[in-house]
Amino acid sequence: MVYEGILEGRFVNLRPVTKEDAEFILEIRNNPEISKFLPSLNATVDQQQSWIDKQRNDINSYYFIIEDKTKMRIGTTSVYNIIENHAEVGRFCSFGNSIQNSEAALMLDDFIFQKLGINYLDIWVYKDNKSVLALNKGLGCVWEGEGEDEKGIPYLYGTLTKEGFDIKSQKIRDNLSKIKI
């Protein structure tokens, strides 16, 4: 589905993905530093554009481009598998710095809990992706267990509730508000 608008923050904006973003998405997903923490993606630009068309019509999914304040694309993030009061988050990959990444994650979760009315999120992150594990924990995610993907790479899975997010995210909000632009 497409959110018809831009989610604006102090350091980044989130806008809906368009077909014109296909090449950027493939570039960031195939970047060795970023792709080591993501399931592999082997697609052409045409295939990615077709996937974007399909996603834009999926009523259970929102996919965003993360832009810095100069409107330069720096990443992607998404909420999907929206079923009643719960969903999954992912497709987070970013060239941004820790401030931009923290704000983007905070903004997506605000969108999910406030605008969509979701009560909880399912999250999984590869165990080696320490920065994203820490960010999700800082947002209130409770890690419940671990598993392995089809290649045997270990990951943690957990849940982020609206209540946990409301309590834990305040520290990130406070820290972001102290940063001078």
Check residue 105 and give its pLDDT: 96
pLDDT given for residue 40 in this prediction: 67
- Give residue 37's pLDDT: 81
What confidence score (pLDDT) does residue 106 get? 96
Query: Where along the chain do its domains lie?
Result: 7-177
Q: d(Cα 51, Cα 71) in Å, to the nearest integer?
A: 23
Query: 67-111 pLDDT, tens per residue?
Result: 999 999 999 999 999 999 999 998 899 999 999 999 999 999 999
Say how far apart CA 171 and CA 138 lie, in whole Å.
Answer: 8
- Per-residue model confidence (pLDDT) at position 33: 86
Q: Which CATH superfamily is domain 7-177 in?
A: Gcn5-related N-acetyltransferase (GNAT) (3.40.630.30)
Task: Please identify every stretch of the chain with a pLDDT value under 70, giving residue numbers as ranges.
Answer: 39-40
Give CA angle at 130 (125, 136), nearest 5°: 55
Residue 121's H or E segment, with its range, is strand 120-126
Quote the crossing angle between the two packed helices 98-110 and 162-177, to the nearest 10°.
140
